[in-house]
Amino acid sequence: MAKKIEKVEDLPGVGETAAKKLAEAGYKTLEQIAVASGSELQEVAGLGEGTADKAIKAARDALDMGYETADVLAEKRKLVGRLTTGSKELDNLIGGGIETQSITEVYGKMASGKSQWCFQTAVTVQLPKEQGGLEGGCLYVDSENSFRPERVIQVAKKFGLDTDAALKNIYVARAYNAEHQMILVDKAADMIKEKNIKLLIVDSLTAQFRSEFVGRGTLAERQQKLNKHMRSLQKTAEMYNVAVLVTNQVMSRPDILFGDPTEPVGGNVVGHASKTRLYLRKSKEDKRVAKLVDSPSLPDGEALYRITENGIEDVEE
Ligand SMILES: Nc1ncnc2c1ncn2[C@@H]1O[C@H](COP(=O)(O)OP(=O)(O)O)[C@@H](O)[C@H]1O
Ligand SMILES: [Mg+2]
């Protein structure tokens, strides 16, 4: 039988020297390795690509997250609710709307419409079930100071809701730094029960983390914190059967020479936690494209929609 893996140097392909290099860069525990990406480990410890991936997998296996039987999972899945985006094209792309019990991520460049998705769903979540809503309120964590009640009012009007009532069902908190943002999510539980919350929004997921952790030496710590944050979001989604919508910034990968070098911030930590990922971009006039990326249960594809004064709409209404 293989040796039990308890520390970083026990990982396959990681000797004492590599373990020391990893520790110096902040990767001291199996947890930190488990949430790292292959390229991070290659960079800081000079591991080969295959070795890095093997070490990460071994660290994850060693930490074993536990089993649940499939019938229990199937029962849980039955309770999954779906929230309309306000566009049939978009809803179809993501299998009928934004799911409860998991994290949906929209990422894209500045002004690609990420915050518009938030204003939109903060309203549609309040709609009756027949209209694609979840008949609940919204918790809105705003880390970029971009919440705009006037946009919410416009969207609420389009759906024929009382605008005052619609605003009262959205609980907004400014997140002043990454730690504060994490606390706001950790404390969401009470509010969710008390106020019948069905949607938790974090706009933006990564902005505070990005501005606080700059430079190479801080990457491991940032990823570890971000991982904790994603777990907290995931737990909240599952435990309370709420939808979680997060927005994410993008960066350009210098090593991609062909194709689109744009990729979401946060690496594997965010990538693995977000079940539904959509890449948003501008098209002609008020038209926008959302591309579904790496869904575990849906085909890849794109949807065309518009962002108008009324919010998100189909191109043909
Ligand atoms: N009142 C409005 N009417 C029509 N389009 C709007 C309105 N407000 C914002 N938009 C569109 O949304 C874009 C900004 O999107 P936003 O969600 O703030 O981007 P992001 O959060 O991705 O940076 C604007 O460039 C504009 O195209
Ligand atoms: Mg925004």
Q: Is residue 1 part of a domain?
A: no
Sign of CA dihedral 276, 264, 87, 90: negative
Ligand 1 pocket member 288 (CB < 6 A): no
**pLDDT value at position 67?**
65
Which ligand sits closest to the CA of 112?
A: 1
**Could you give the CA distance from residue 241 to residue 82 in angstroms, rounded to a whole number?**
11
Q: Which residues fall inside 5 Å of ion ligand 2, going by CB? A: 114-115, 146
User: In this structure, are residues 27 and 41 in contact, taking their beta carbons and an 8 Å threshold?
Assistant: yes
From the CB of 145, is ligand 1 less than 6 Å away?
A: no
Residue 216 has a pLDDT of 78
Residue 221 inside a domain? The answer is: yes
Same domain, 13 and 100: no
User: Could you tell me if the CB of 277 is within 6 A of ligand 1?
Assistant: no
Residues of the chain where predicted confidence (pLDDT) is lower than 70? 1-3, 64-67
Same domain, 58 and 74: no
Is the CB–ligand 1 distance for residue 114 below 6 Å?
yes
Question: In this structure, are 307 and 163 located in the same domain?
Answer: yes
Cα–Cα distances (Å) from 298 to 155, 192, 225, 293, in that order, read: 28, 29, 29, 9
Residue 263: give its domain's CATH number.
3.40.50.300
The reply to whether the predicted model has a pTM over 0.95 is no
In testing the pocket of ligand 1, which one of 116, 148, 310 has its CB within 8 Å of the most ligand atoms? 116
Is the domain of 109 the same as that of 159?
Answer: yes
Whether 189 and 105 share a structural domain:
yes
CA 202 to chain centroid, in Å, comes to 8
Same-domain pairing of 95 and 160: yes
Determine the residue of 109, 114, 245, 307 to mutate for testing ligand 1's pocket, defined as the one with the most ligand atoms within 8 A of the Cβ atom. Answer: 307
Answer whether 285 contacts ligand 1 (Cβ < 6 A): no
Measured in whole angstroms, the distance separating CA 36 from the mean position of its chain's CA atoms is 17
Residue 110 alpha carbon to ligand 1 centre in Å: 9
108 lines ligand 1 (CB under 6 A): yes
Where residue 38 sits, what CATH number does that domain have?
1.10.150.20
Range of the domain at 301: 70-313
Asked if residue 257 and residue 166 are part of one domain, the reply reads yes
12 and 106 share one domain: no
Report the C-alpha gap between 23 and 45 in whole angstroms. Answer: 9
State how many domains the chain has. Answer: 2
Q: What pLDDT does residue 260 have?
A: 83
Please report the pLDDT score of residue 66 as a whole number: 57
Confirm whether 2 is domain-assigned. no
Domain co-membership, 189 together with 154: yes
